[in-house]
Amino acid sequence: MSTEFNELLSASATDKSQIWIIGTREQVLHTINEFYVKRIANDRVKFTPIIPAPFEGKYMSVLVR
């Protein structure tokens, strides 16, 4: 990335990383369960509720770490 683009990003040191999961409802639920079993997320509460994504027939959830 160019320095000019990096300057436009508004990221601070307190921002948390996010993992976005987008797919069918079953895929999203399976991935959430897989992340929990593999201990990528230590609690299912760290995921947002599954909501419709802006893509037709897709759903999403976000893991905030």
Q: For position 16, what pLDDT does the model report?
A: 82
Confidence of residue 6 (pLDDT cuts 50, 70, 90): low
Given a contact cutoff of 8 angstroms between Cβ atoms, the answer to whether 32 and 44 are in contact is: yes
The 10s digit of each residue's pLDDT in 17-62 is 899 999 999 999 999 999 999 999 999 999 999 999 999 999 999 9
- H/E/C letters for each residue in the chain? CCHHHHHHCCCCCCCCCEEEEEECHHHHHHHHHHHHHCCCCCCHHHECCCEECCCCCCEEEEEEC
